[in-house]
Every structure is written in structure tokens, then in C-alpha cells.
């Protein structure tokens, strides 16, 4: 059962997610995503959703389009 609900990780889970996002990879491959999910105690789907949302926030903060693709003026 897939849900589009946002994940609200605990502070400890958030630290793990943020660390991996900032220090390891903003685009984790499926194996890395699985390891991050296991470390954080979240499902792979929840972890993937968090990474997608966090990447959109990061791109916005960098002045980039929220979705990857061609850059438009």
C-alpha cells in the first residue's frame, strides 16, 4: 500500500538521514537507500520519499528548479 504522506522522522532518524544526504549522497542508489533505511529504522519507501523532498528543498535553496531537468530562464 503506497502512501504519499510525508514521513516525520524522529530526531535520531533525521540526523541519520541528514548525515547521509549531506555527507554521503544526495542521490543514493537502491542498495545505499536500503542501508540508510535500515540504519534509520524506516521503510525504503519512506526513506526514498524523504530524500526526494529533501532534494527538492536543497535545489530550491540553491536557486535551482525543484525538479531535475533543463534549466529555464
List, as one string, the DSSP characters of 5-54: PPP---HHHHHHHHHIIIII-SS--HHHHHHHHHHHT--HHHHHHHHHHH
Question: Each residue of 50-62: pLDDT tens digit?
Answer: 999 999 999 999 8
How many domains would you assign to the chain? Answer: 1
| Residue 54 included in any domain | yes
20 within domain boundaries: yes
* Residue 19 pLDDT exceeds 50: yes
* Reported pTM: 0.76
Is there a domain that residue 19 lies in?
yes
- CATH number of the domain bearing residue 17: 1.10.10.60
For residue 73, what pLDDT is reported? 36
Of 72 and 13, the one with more pLDDT: 13
Residue 46 lies in a domain: yes
Whether residue 72 is contained in a domain is answered as no
Q: State how far the Cα of 71 lies from the Cα of 54, in Å rounded to an integer.
A: 19
Which of 1-5, 7-11, 16-20 has the least mean pLDDT? 1-5
Would you say residue 15 has pLDDT above 70? yes
Amino acid at each position: 500500500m503506497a502512501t504519499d504522506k510525508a514521513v516525520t522522522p524522529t530526531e535520531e532518524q533525521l540526523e541519520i538521514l541528514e548525515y547521509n544526504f549531506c555527507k554521503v549522497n544526495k542521490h543514493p542508489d537502491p542498495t545505499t537507500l536500503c542501508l540508510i533505511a535500515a540504519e534509520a529504522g524506516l521503510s525504503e519507501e519512506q526513506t526514498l520519499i524523504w530524500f526526494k523532498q529533501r532534494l527538492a528543498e536543497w535545489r530550491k535553496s540553491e536557486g535551482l528548479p525543484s525538479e531535475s531537468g533543463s534549466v529555464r530562464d
